Amino acid sequence: MNASVKGPKADGGDARRDRWSAHREQRREEFVAAALRVLAAQGPDVTMEAVAAEAGVTKPVLYRYFEDKTALVTALGEFGSSVLLERLLPAIGADLPALARIRGTITAYFEVIDELPNLYWLIVRHTAGEIPAENDPYQRNKEVIASALTALFGDYLRAYGLDSGAAEPWAYGITGLVQATVEWWLQRRSMSRVHAIEYTTQLIYAALAGVLPAGVLDQELELGRSRFAGRPEGEAPEGPRSAPSLKLVSGDS
C-alpha cells in the first residue's frame, strides 16, 4: 500500500523537477539572447543592468539564473564556442586539396569572429584570470582546434612514415598565428577580410610546403575525415589512394 502511494509521488516530483529544469534552461537561453543584443548594440563592455533591462526583468531576477557577471560571460562563451566549432571543424575535416582546406578553415574562423566581434572581445578580456581554466571558453576553443589539427597533421605524417611528433607543435603554432591575426585585423581593419584571409592562407600553406620532405607534396593522399570528424578513435590512418585530399598543390584543383 505504502509503495503504491510513494511511486506516483516520486514520479510527480521527477516530472516537476524536469519541468523546472527545462524552464530554467529556457530562461537562461533568453537572457543569453538578450546579452547578445546588448553586445551588438553597445559593445563588449556589457553590464548586468543592461542585460536585465533588455530582457525586461530586474537585476535580482537575472541573478537567479546567473550568480554573477562571470557566470553570464561563461554562458555567452559556450554559445560562441558552439557557433565557432560548428563552422570550423567541418572546414578542417573537408575532403579538399590542402590549399582549399587551409583557406576554408581560415575563412570560417574569420567569418565567425567578424560576425560576433563584441562577443569575442568580451570573452577574451573577461576570461583572463577571472574564469577557471577548465571553464575558459577561449582556452577551450584553442585546445579543441589544436587537437583537431594535431589529428589531421599526425595522420598525414604517419601515412608517409614521417615524424608525427611535429603534428602538435605545428597545430598549436598555426592556431595561435590565426588567432593573433584575427585580433590584429579586428583592431586595425587596414585591409579587407578577403585579403587578410588570403595572406594568412599563403603563409600557412608555404610553411607546410617548406617543411615537408621533397617528393611528399607531389603524392596523392586521401585521409577522408580525421578522428575529430568521425573516424573511430584509434583507427589507423589510411594509406595512399587515387583521390587527392591533402595533396599540397599550387591551386585548388
Mean pLDDT comparison of 123-127, 137-141, 211-215, 217-221, highest-scoring range: 137-141
Stretch 54-76: mean pLDDT, rounded? 95
Residue 127 has pLDDT above 70, yes or no: no
Asked if 46 and 116 sit in the same domain, the reply is: no
Return the closest-CA partner of residue 238 out of 248, 251, 224, 249. Answer: 224
Asked if 248 and 152 sit in the same domain, the reply is: yes
Residue 13 has pLDDT above 50, yes or no: yes
Asked if 184 and 156 sit in the same domain, the reply is: yes
Task: Answer for the pair 73, 123: CB distance below 8 angstroms, yes or no.
Answer: yes
Task: List, for residues 74-112, the tens digit of each pLDDT value.
Answer: 999 999 999 999 999 999 999 888 889 999 999 999 999
- Do the domain assignments include residue 72? no
Among residues of the chain, what percentage have pLDDT more than 90?
Answer: 56
Residue 229: per-residue pLDDT: 41
- Do the domain assignments include residue 73? no
Asked if 60 and 136 sit in the same domain, the reply is: no
Residue 101 corresponds to which amino acid? R
Residue 161: per-residue pLDDT: 83
Asked if 119 and 191 sit in the same domain, the reply is: yes
Residue 68: per-residue pLDDT: 93
Asked if 106 and 210 sit in the same domain, the reply is: yes
Total number of domains in the chain: 2
Identify the domain boundary among 41, 67, 93.
Answer: 67
Task: Answer for the pair 91, 108: CB distance below 8 angstroms, yes or no.
Answer: yes
State the burial class of residue 77 (Cβ atoms within 10 Å of its Cβ: 0-12, 13-18, 19+). Answer: buried
Task: For cell 575529430, name the residue.
Answer: 228
Task: List, for residues 133-164, the tens digit of each pLDDT value.
Answer: 677 888 889 999 999 999 988 888 887 788 89
- Does the predicted TM-score (pTM) go above 0.95? no
**Structural domain for 168, as ranges:** 84-253
- Number of Cβ atoms within 10 Å of the Cβ of 52: 20
